[in-house]
Amino acid sequence: MNQRWRLILLWFLPFCMAIFLTWQVLGVSKPGSMSSEGTMIAPRNTAVSRMSYGRFLDYVEAGRVTSVDIYDGGRNAVVEAVDPDLDNRVQKIRVDLPGLAPELIDTLKTEGISFDIHPPRKASPALGVFGNLLFPLLLIGGLILLARRSNSMPGGPGQAMQFGKTKARFAMEAETGVKFDDVAGISEAKQDLQEVVTFLKQPERFTSIGARIPKGVLLIGPPGTGKTLLAKAIAGEAGVPFFSLSGSEFVEMFVGVGASRVRDLFKRAKENNPCLIFIDEIDAVGRQRGAGIGGGNDEREQTLNQLLTEMDGFEGNSGIIIIAATNRPDVLDSALMRPGRFDRQVSVDAPDIKGRLSILKVHSKNKKLEESLSLENIARRTPGFTGADLANLLNEAAILTARRRKKAITLDEVDDAVDRIIAGMEGQPLTDGKSKRLIAYHEIGHALIGTLVKDHDPVQKVTLIPRGQAKGLTWFSPDDEQSLISKAQLRARIMGALGGRAAEDIVFGYSEVTTGAGGDIQQVASLARQMVTRFGMSDLGPVSLENGSQEVFLGRDLMTRNDVSDAISRQIDEKVREMVKSCYKETLSILSKQRELMDRLVDLLIEKETIDGDELKGVVTEYTPIPEKERTVPIL
C-alpha cells in the first residue's frame, strides 16, 4: 500500500468511528418510535397535524379527545381526537404542552380520557461519557498524525535535535558519472589531483620513500573553470567513501550549530577512512577572522575555528583528504591556507586555445556537427571562455539548430550562439533611416580603426542587428592568447573604442554626437588610468600608484588608505586626460583621411546589416593598404 492510500485510510477510519459512535449515542429511531429524548416520531404514511394548547383544551372540554400520549416530560403529546371537519374521523394530532402540570392530569381524569405518560429513554452513562470525549480524542489523534508526518519530512519539528548533525552527502563509492577522461583543458590541475587518487589506491607507493600526501587540496579559479567537475572526477576515480557539501551548510543562526556539524562530519569521516571530503565554496565559512566590528566573535568564526582544529589539531586525521573549491582566495583566513591544512593550492584558470579545443571535443561527442564545421575555428574565436561557457555555447548552438529545423550544427548557429552569450538576445532590426545611418557610422568608425591601426585586434564582423542594450556591434577577435599586452596594444584599444565617437564627430559635427559612446568612454577611462597607475606606462615612471581592487573588511580596513598625495593624484588625472586626448586626436586624423571609404562602408552596412571581417578588408584594400599585423598563430 503506497503512502497516499495509507494516509487516506488513517483519516477515514477515525471518521467512520465518529459516525458510528454518534449513532450509538444519539440513536437512530425507527418509524413510529421515540427518539433518545422520548420525542414521538410519527410512523410513515401517517398524517400528523399540529394543534395549539388552547385548542387542545377546547377539544377536551368538547369531549372530542379519545386518548393522549405524553412524551418528553410533558412538553409534547400525541392526541387522538374526532375532527368534525373530516366527517368525525379519528385523527392523530401533535400538541406542544407547557409542561406536565397536575391540572392537566386532573382534567383528563375528570373527562375520562385515556392517557399515558412515556418516560424519556436514557442512554448508557458509559456511552455518554465516551461521546463527550469523542471530539477531544479525534483532535489529539489528528495532531499526533500530523506530528508523525512532520517528523518524517526533512527539516520538520521532529528534526530539532538533528541541527548539530552534518548535512554532507555520503556515498561509499560515489557514482558521479565523471572520470578524469571527461575533464579536459586543465591538464596541470588534473595531474596534481591524480596523485591524490593514486595515494588513496596505492599509499605504499608514497609511504615507502617517506612521502606524505597533502591533507588538503584547495582548488582556486574563476567560476566555470571546472573546480567542481574535478572534484566529481576524483570521487569517480578514487573508489573510497566520499563526503560532499557546501560551505554554507555549516552556518546556521543558532550558536554552536556550525561547530557541531564540523565535529560530526569528521567523526563520520574517521569511521570511514580513508575517505574524501569535498567542501564547495569554502569562502562561505573560511573568511578571515576578526573582520567584524568589535573582533567578530560570531557563529561563523566559531565554525572556522572548529574546522581548523579538525584539519590539523591535537588529534591527527590520517586517511582523510579534504578538497575545497573557491573563487575568492583573497578572503580566506591565513590559518586555513598554511601547510598542514591546505598544503597544496591548485590553480584552475581559463583554458588556452589547446584547452578549449580539447573541451570542445569532449562536449561535442553527443552533438551532431556538420562535417565542414571546424572545432579549431570555434576555439580560436572564444578566447577567455571557460569550460562551462564552452559547454553552454554548444548547447545554445544545438538549441538554435533544432529551432531552425536543421539536422546538424553549422558555423552559423555557433556564431549566433557566441553573439548571444556575449552580447545578449538578438533584437528587431532598425527601421528608422536617420538612427540607422548614425549607428552605422559609429560602428564603421570602430571597425576602420581596428583595421587600419597595426596593433589592434582584427575585426571579425560588424552588424547593425541589436543585441541586448547595444543597437549595433563590432566584434574583434585576437589571433593568439594575450596573457601579456603591450603598451602599443593598449593604446590601439583606446583608439578603437574612441572610433565610434570620432566618426560621429566627423560626419555629424561635435554638437550632434550622441550618448551611444557612453560605454566606450568608460572603457577608455579605465584602460588609460590603469596604464598610468598600475602598469607604469606614463611619464610618472614605473611606479604603482594605486592598489588593485580588494574587498574591505570592517574592523580591519574600516577606512581606506590613500597611497598617494594630492599632488600625485592631480598628475595622474592630467596624464590620463593627455593620453586620451592624444589617442582621440590620432583617431580623428585617421578617419578624416578615409571619409570616402567610410561612406562606402556605411552604405554597404545599411544594405546588408552585417559585414564579416574578410569582406571589410576587401573593401578597405581598394582605398588604402592595410598594415600587416604581427601575430603569432598558435600551434594546435
Positions marked catalytic: 443
Alpha helices of 202-256 — where are they, by DSSP H? Answer: 204-207, 227-238
Residues 6+ apart with CB under 8 A from 379: 353, 356, 357, 360, 636
CA atoms within 13 A on the CB side of 197: 17
Residues 6+ apart with CB under 8 A from 7: 149
| H or E segment and range at residue 246 | strand 242-246
User: Strand 610-612 relative to strand 459-463: parallel, antiparallel, unpaired?
Assistant: antiparallel
Residue corresponding to grid cell 591544512: 341
Residue corresponding to grid cell 587540496: 217
User: Strand 275-280 relative to strand 242-246: parallel, antiparallel, unpaired?
Assistant: parallel
The Cα–Cα gap between 616 and 612 comes to 6
Residues 6+ apart with CB under 8 A from 331: 283, 287, 288, 551, 553
For the beta sheet containing 320-326, the strands, ordered from the edge strand earlier in sequence to the opposite edge, are 169-171, 242-246, 275-280, 320-326, 216-220, 344-347
Alpha helices of 31-182 — where are they, by DSSP H? Answer: 53-61, 102-111, 125-152
Do 470 and 420 touch, CB atoms closer than 8 A?
no
Do 78 and 48 touch, CB atoms closer than 8 A?
yes
Do 410 and 401 touch, CB atoms closer than 8 A?
yes
Do 346 and 184 touch, CB atoms closer than 8 A?
no
C-alpha grid cell, residue 173: 563509492
Radius of gyration of the chain (CA): 45
Name beta bridge partners: 465. none
Residues 6+ apart with CB under 8 A from 238: 174, 196, 197, 200, 201, 276
Residue type, 602: V
| H or E segment and range at residue 199 | helix 187-201
Q: Give the alpha-carbon dihedral of 590, 595, 600, 603, to 10 degrees.
A: 110
DSSP tag of 11: H
* DSSP per-residue string spanning 299-319: HHHHHHHHHHHHHSSSS--TT
In terms of phi and psi (left: phi > 0; alpha: psi -120 to 50; beta: otherwise), the region of 290 is left
CB-neighbour burial class of residue 445 (10 A; exposed 0-12, middle 13-18, buried 19+): buried
